[in-house]
Amino acid sequence: MGQFKQERAVARLFASLLILFLASSVLAEDSGLRRLDTGEASKGWGAVGRLEFDGRGFCTGALIAPDKVLTAAHCLFDRDTGEARDLSAVEFRAGWRNGRAEAYRKVRRAAVHPDYVFGQDELLTRAQSDIALLELYHPIRNTQIMPFETAGRLRKGSKIGVVSYAVGRDAAPSFQETCRVLGRHQGVYVLSCDIDFGSSGAPVFVTENGQTRIASVVAAKAEFNGEKVALGTALDFALSELQAVMAQEPVVVERSKTSHEHRNSTGAKFVRPNGG
């Protein structure tokens, strides 16, 4: 039933966007993936890294401050049990490629967007707030690893790029230099970018006036009429609320809240190491 609801939600969105696809030629050919597996190829992208979950999976994340990693909220929950992950087993590996990283950091605490509900049946509703911030125990201060600034709203047809890890290409990040914004539904972008499992939390970049900034975070992959797309959480819709949560006193979330449960009294959602 949940899968049916997700497909129906995506179908509704695509029905409203289909005319836009055809009218604006947004489905023009995107660039392919380029593997960033050498020092020269990965120059400038060291702030993107793999989030390791104690050998039981990974996501992608990116630094937006020396001690802050932006990623997808669902990465912080066990997809089988709905339990919040033990952050003592989570490690950020900046610039990971070919078995080595530019920096390794453990996670001190993590803030999840206050509206995020893990396992929410409505895919688009879930994607609106599928972002999280991780605070590292120690900042990464390295001239080769420069945190990214964030950007505002993207327009339909905007050219974007994505750097991500994924199943089958997890040894080094892959860079898709050009893909496009196909449309937006409330706080969710529909993107033509090539992503897969492991790309969750990957930064979606926009380059303007020579500056590359993060404008969205990969939340999910979807498919409509055989066309594979990515769904991205819009930062202008959700980031300020997430940062407000990070500024509050941490509240431990023992498990994912269901849609029938209330948020904690502060409105904040935090996860941190057991006993931390």
Residue 8 in domain:
no
Residue-wise pLDDT for 2-54, tens only, equals 444 455 555 555 554 543 443 344 455 799 999 999 999 999 999 999 999 99
The answer to whether residues 166 and 81 belong to one domain is no
The answer to whether residues 97 and 75 belong to one domain is yes
DSSP H helices, the chain, are 2-24, 123-128, 235-246
Residue 133 in domain:
yes
Residue 216 in domain:
yes
Predicted TM-score (pTM) of the model is 0.85
**For the domain that residue 216 is a member of, what is the CATH number?**
2.40.10.10
The answer to whether residues 122 and 212 belong to one domain is no
Rounded distance between C-alpha atoms, residue 121 and residue 134, angstroms: 25
pLDDT of residue 216: 98
The answer to whether residues 120 and 257 belong to one domain is yes
The answer to whether residues 262 and 127 belong to one domain is yes
Query: Whose CA is closest to 124, among 216, 7, 43?
Result: 7
The answer to whether residues 139 and 220 belong to one domain is no
Query: Whose CA is closest to 171, among 45, 33, 35?
Result: 35
Query: Rounded to the nearest 10 degrees, how much is the dihedral formed by the CA atoms of 118, 109, 66, 117?
Result: 10
Residue 5 in domain:
no
Per-10-residue mean pLDDT for the chain, 276 residues long?
A: 49 50 54 96 97 94 98 94 93 97 96 93 91 97 94 95 97 97 93 96 96 97 83 95 86 42 41 39
Q: What is the largest CA-CA distance in the chain?
A: 55
pLDDT of residue 11: 55
pLDDT of residue 267: 42
Beta bridge partners of 181: 191
Is the separation of the CB atoms in 116 and 178 below 8 Å? no
DSSP state of 147: P
Residue 60's identity, in one-letter code, is: T
* Coil, helix or strand at residue 79: coil
The answer to whether residues 133 and 242 belong to one domain is yes
The answer to whether residues 120 and 253 belong to one domain is yes
The answer to whether residues 71 and 137 belong to one domain is yes
The answer to whether residues 136 and 60 belong to one domain is yes
Domain region containing 109: 48-146+238-271
pLDDT of residue 8: 55
Alpha-carbon separation of residue 133 from 79, 212, 238 (angstroms)? 19, 20, 12
Rounded distance between C-alpha atoms, residue 112 and residue 132, angstroms: 4
The answer to whether residues 231 and 243 belong to one domain is no
Phi then psi for residue 77, to 5 deg, are -125, 145
Domain count, the chain: 2
Residue 11 in domain:
no
Residue 247's identity, in one-letter code, is: A
Rounded distance between C-alpha atoms, residue 36 and residue 94, angstroms: 13
* Coil, helix or strand at residue 18: helix
The answer to whether residues 226 and 160 belong to one domain is yes
Residue 42 in domain:
no
**Residue carrying structure tokens 């911030």:** 133
> How many Cβ atoms are within 10 Å of 1's Cβ, its own excluded?
6
Residue 43 in domain:
no
Residue 13 in domain:
no
Alpha-carbon separation of residue 165 from 170, 221, 223 (angstroms)? 5, 14, 20
Is the separation of the CB atoms in 166 and 33 below 8 Å? no
